[in-house]
């Protein structure tokens, strides 16, 4: 019969490492080399010291100290026993094997015991207790790599790490790590998002919360680019436009004070999907969490005129002030006046300036615009563009009360979500020659949305804690 001793089992007494004479040989050697190098440099006359080269030398020697230190910790996480229980499942030892781990200071070699349950894959207590990523990357090294690749390409991240010194993962490793981490996130996405929603701190001065969603086209590997262009050619037309692009959905939850100043924004982004379903789910859950904490906040819904946006904002969310983005309204006004006067005419610019200011500043601004467009439509009865734009203003007039909304300190524009589309997706995903698969694209969007929401550290902490397992020792009962 076996007794289970938990991971708080008795461990052998280790030497006092505060005494340098007791340090393991690799760490002691690294420290001696660092000390000797510093002694040699400081023995030279100041005018003979090349700080540029010395800094590089010191960085390499300090990295050696860090590698030896982390190697000690990894070896400490190795449990060598005939049997162990890992996350509640009994495993038997099947051998020992030396493996390479990528740390924040570079690669180290560690010998560890391998365990297997039945015919399953062999595992090690080093990986389980350490929360090792991708089978060989330490948590902090993976965090640094993922943060960099969220901001720039794997190739550029590789070059940056070489210049900084320390770890030098390959481009392929840098490309793969965000996908591995994203897979962990997606497996339990709703649980993770609920925890982030609950952790949001709301400023006391917050008076309103605005919810917005939009989209931006990005180049896709599976976007059907070649087929779409071929179909265009068969119709006798030259191929043009964004064939092979699909829409990434972006959304924001923004807090404002009573004067309309933006206080904080949470950003969300999802790869192309039917009806932006998961994006809307995340936005709704995040909004509900905010309103549960602060039911006194005014709710403002801001978006362009896309029907799908307003179906969600109007029908799936609590009641609030609905605002059609002012700048989109101005674009539609431009189209109408261009149809009547021509965009380069003096009359166009004069009337456009007058009407857009009335639309924004007058209580009945939208009604004045509608009357003006109705008059132009009568003068130009054959203009389809004028009739279309007149219908647009009539349909959305209830969401164009800009003067009244602004007077209450509420936003009248969707610039925050449009900026999110640019910074989350366009800036990173629309570089020359890029094409994205769903897995790789979502990995980047998840990292960037959490970075730009100020939630990267708490997100990484959750993923790390999920990855760390529990190890119990099995021993013969006395």
Would you state the pLDDT for residue 259? 95
Q: Mean per-residue pLDDT for 84-99?
A: 96
Q: What is the average pLDDT score of the chain?
A: 92
Tokens read off for 55: 């800094």
What's the pLDDT at 19?
55
CA distances from 450 to 157, 196, 359, 466 (A): 19, 10, 36, 18
Taking alpha carbons only, the member of 242, 253, 348, 249 closest to residue 291 is: 253
pTM of the entire predicted model: 0.88
CA triple 373-374-378, angle to 5 deg: 115
Assess whether pLDDT exceeds 80 at residue 17.
no
- Where exactly are the structural domains of the chain? 2-186+459-476, 326-412
Q: Is pLDDT at 165 greater than 50 in this prediction?
A: yes
- % of the chain residues with pLDDT over 70: 90
The confidence score (pLDDT) of residue 6 equals 45
Give the CA distances from residue 259 to residues 255, 301, 361, 468, in Å, rounded to whole numbers and listed in that order. Answer: 11, 17, 17, 46
* Residue of 5 and 92 predicted with greater confidence: 92
Q: What tens digit of pLDDT does each residue of 186-239 get? A: 999 999 999 999 999 999 999 999 999 999 999 999 755 555 555 555 666 655
The predicted structure's pLDDT at residue 229: 57
Instruction: Name the token pair of 281.
Output: 């789910």
pLDDT at 243: 66
pLDDT for 333 equals 97
Taking CA 40 as the corner, what is the angle to CA 36 and CA 43, rounded to the nearest 5 degrees? 135
Going by their DSSP bridges, the two strands 83-86 and 89-103 should be labelled as antiparallel
The strand pairing partners of 467, in sequence order, are none
> How far is the C-alpha of 383 from the C-alpha of 167, rounded, in Å?
65
The per-residue pLDDT for 23 is 84
* Backbone φ and ψ of 369, nearest 5°: -65, -45
d(C-alpha 366, C-alpha 358), whole Å: 8
pLDDT band at 3 (very low <50, low <70, confident <90, very high): very low
pLDDT at 222: 73
Q: What percent of the chain has pLDDT over 90?
A: 87
Least confident of 19-23, 155-159, 185-189: 19-23
**From 12-26, 196-210, 224-238, 247-261, the region with the lowest mean pLDDT:** 224-238
Pairwise CA distance, residues 408 & 323, whole Å: 13
Q: What is the mean pLDDT of residues 418-429?
A: 96
Query: pLDDT at position 4, please?
Result: 42
**Average pLDDT rounded to a whole number, residues 329-349:** 95
Average pLDDT over every residue of 344-370: 96
Kindly indicate the confidence band of residue 91, based on its pLDDT and cuts at 50, 70 and 90. very high
Q: How far is the C-alpha of 130 from the C-alpha of 113, rounded, in Å?
A: 14
Condensed to tens digits (0 to 9), the pLDDT of residues 36-48 reads 999 999 999 999 9
Which of the residue ranges 220-229, 263-272, 318-327, 454-463 would you say has the lowest mean pLDDT?
A: 220-229
98 closest CA partner among 89, 86, 111: 111
Residue 374 above 90 pLDDT?
Answer: yes
Q: Judge whether residue 478 has pLDDT over 50.
A: no
Cα–Cα dist 2/473, whole Å: 10
Q: What's residue 227's pLDDT?
A: 56
Contact (CB, 8 A) for 137 and 145: yes
pLDDT for the residue 175? 97
């Amino acid at each position: 019969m076996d007794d289970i001793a938990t991971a708080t089992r008795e461990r052998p007494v280790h030497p006092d490492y505060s005494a340098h004479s007791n340090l393991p040989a690799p760490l002691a050697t690294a420290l001696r080399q660092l000390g000797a190098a510093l002694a040699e440099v400081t023995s030279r006359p100041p005018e003979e010291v090349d700080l540029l080269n010395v800094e590089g030398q010191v960085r390499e020697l300090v990295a050696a100290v860090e590698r030896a230190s982390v190697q000690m910790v990894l070896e400490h996480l190795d449990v060598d026993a005939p049997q162990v229980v890992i996350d509640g499942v009994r495993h038997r030892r099947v051998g020992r094997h030396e493996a390479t781990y990528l740390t924040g200071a570079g690669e180290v070699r560690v010998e560890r015991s391998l365990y297997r349950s039945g015919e399953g894959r062999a595992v090690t207590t080093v990986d389980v207790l350490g929360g090792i990523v991708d089978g060989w990357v330490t948590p902090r090294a993976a965090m640094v790599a993922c943060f960099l690749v969220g901001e720039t390409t794997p190739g550029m991240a590789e070059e940056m790490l070489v210049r900084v010194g320390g770890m030098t993962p390959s481009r392929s490793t840098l490309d793969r790590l965000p996908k591995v981490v994203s897979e962990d996130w997606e497996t339990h996405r709703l649980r993770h998002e609920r925890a982030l929603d609950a952790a949001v701190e709301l400023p006391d001065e917050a008076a309103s919360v605005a919810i917005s969603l939009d989209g931006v086209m990005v180049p896709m590997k599976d976007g059907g680019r070649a087929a779409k262009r071929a179909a265009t050619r068969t119709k006798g037309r030259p191929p043009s436009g964004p064939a092979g692009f699909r829409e990434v959905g972006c959304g924001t939850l923004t807090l404002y004070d009573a004067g309309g100043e933006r206080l904080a924004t949470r950003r969300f982004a999802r790869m192309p999907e039917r009806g932006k379903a998961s994006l809307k789910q995340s936005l709704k859950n995040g909004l509900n969490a905010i309103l549960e904490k602060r039911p006194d906040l005014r709710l403002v819904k801001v978006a362009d005129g896309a029907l799908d946006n307003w179906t969600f904002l109007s029908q799936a969310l609590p009641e609030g002030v609905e605002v059609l983005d002012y700048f989109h309204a101005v674009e539609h006004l431009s189209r109408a006046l261009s149809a009547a006067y021509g965009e380069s005419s003096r009359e166009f610019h004069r009337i456009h300036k007058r009407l857009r200011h009335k639309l924004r500043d007058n209580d009945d601004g939208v009604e004045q615009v509608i009357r003006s467009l109705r008059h132009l439509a009568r003068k130009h009865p054959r203009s389809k563009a004028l009739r279309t734009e007149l219908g647009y203003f009539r349909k959305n007039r209830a969401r164009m009360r800009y003067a009244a909304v602004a007077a209450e300190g509420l936003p009248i524009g969707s610039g925050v979500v449009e900026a999110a589309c640019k910074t989350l997706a366009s800036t990173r995903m629309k570089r020359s020659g890029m094409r994205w698969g769903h897995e790789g694209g979502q990995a980047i969007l998840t990292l960037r949305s959490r970075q730009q929401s100020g939630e990267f550290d708490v997100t990484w902490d959750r993923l790390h804690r999920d990855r760390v397992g529990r190890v119990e020792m099995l021993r013969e009962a006395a």
